[in-house]
Amino acid sequence: MTTHAYLKDNVMKSRNSTLILFTMLLLGTAAFLGGCATTGMDRHVKTVNSIQVVDSEIRKIIVQIDATSASLDSLVKAGKFDLKNAFETYSDNIVKLDNEGQLVLKRVEEMKSRSKEYFSEWEQQGNSYTNPQIRELSEERRIKLAETYAQVPEAGAGIKEAYLSYLADLKEIQRYLANDLTPERVESIAPVAKKAVLEFVALKASLKPVILALDDIKAELNGGMK
């Protein structure tokens, strides 16, 4: 092999090696960026789904609260011939309300804990940006959404107390009548039933701020991009 041919062969090998290295870097970078994008998108989707679940459960318990209150009203007004059926309907609604309420309290608590994880990961990702403008935009968006997101646990703080107070009186009425279901005993619990009506109003009032906060978050998540 001549010197010219030898040099030409080495140049070609060098070019090929450089091309292979460059291709590997491009593929590696694309995979890295794709992984980050997927992670961020996954977090966003999970957050949106979590909020939709909480929103759905809140609206379901409102329906159940109304149904339980109506069944109590029917029980108090029932005649002696309708008393048994009215009591069974009332008892069934208490069970449903108990289940729905426990689920709502669980969902609100889960939302609170998941928000810490979500925004902590978002902050870490924001700190990884080298472009100061992108980093600033990411931080502004994170802070704004975190403040909106925090409205739900704050608004939901009064739900537990109002719910447990209402449910406790409903269960006591049930236990009291279960031992001796007579028109006289139903009439005797009228003062407790009136108190339950006030608690019913308080419970529904405690749910309204949560619904408004959830609406704000859904609007933010659907209308803005991180």
pLDDT per residue as tens digits for the range 53-102? 888 888 899 999 999 999 999 999 887 778 999 999 999 999 999 999 99
Say yes or no to pLDDT of 16 above 70.
no
pTM, 2 dp: 0.70
pLDDT computed for residue 2 by the predictor: 52
Question: Residues near 186 by Cβ (< 8 Å), separated by ≥ 6?
Answer: 75, 76, 78, 83, 177
pLDDT band at 1 (very low <50, low <70, confident <90, very high): low
Q: Which fold has domain 43-223?
A: Four Helix Bundle (Hemerythrin (Met), subunit A) (1.20.120)
Domain limits, the chain:
43-223
Alpha carbon distance 28, 64 (integer Å): 54
